[in-house]
Amino acid sequence: MPDICVIFDLDGTLVDSETLCNQAFLDLLPELSDPAEVLVKRYRGKKLSAILADIEHRIGGSLPDTFENNDRGRVSELFARDLKPMPGVVAMLDNLSHYKCVASSGPPALTIFGS
């Protein structure tokens, strides 16, 4: 049997990071009134630049120049405190007999939380 490697996406597949990323938006932008779950559906799989452009459109103005750094800091805090594997992931990975690897388009500093 040939060697097989299964590649998993990290965010929203192995770990429940999308809810926390959207919670950071809510924590930093009181103008957003949607619950985090609604934002997850709206922004799932989108690049941060597209999300920030949409948020600026929704709030009717530009975000401060410091917003992205502040957001990444808040996300790091939430990940350190609350990041959890998706339900069933640990057992599935434990039972998978193939090689495994993880891919992420997220920043390396945030990706380390999922390892």
Per-domain boundaries in the chain: 5-114
**How large is the greatest C-alpha to C-alpha distance in the chain, in angstroms?**
57
Q: What is the pLDDT of residue 105?
A: 79
What's the pLDDT score for residue 62? 96
* Separation CA 60–CA 12 (nearest Å): 29
Whole-number percent of the chain with pLDDT over 70 = 91
The SS3 call for residue 8 is: strand
Q: Which residues are catalytic?
A: 9
Rounded mean pLDDT, 96-108: 85
C-alpha separations of 55 from 4, 45, 63, 78, 96 in Å: 41, 15, 8, 20, 40
| pLDDT > 90? residue 113 | no
Tell me how long the chain is. Answer: 115
∠35-80-83 over CA atoms, to 5°?
A: 50
pTM over 0.85: no
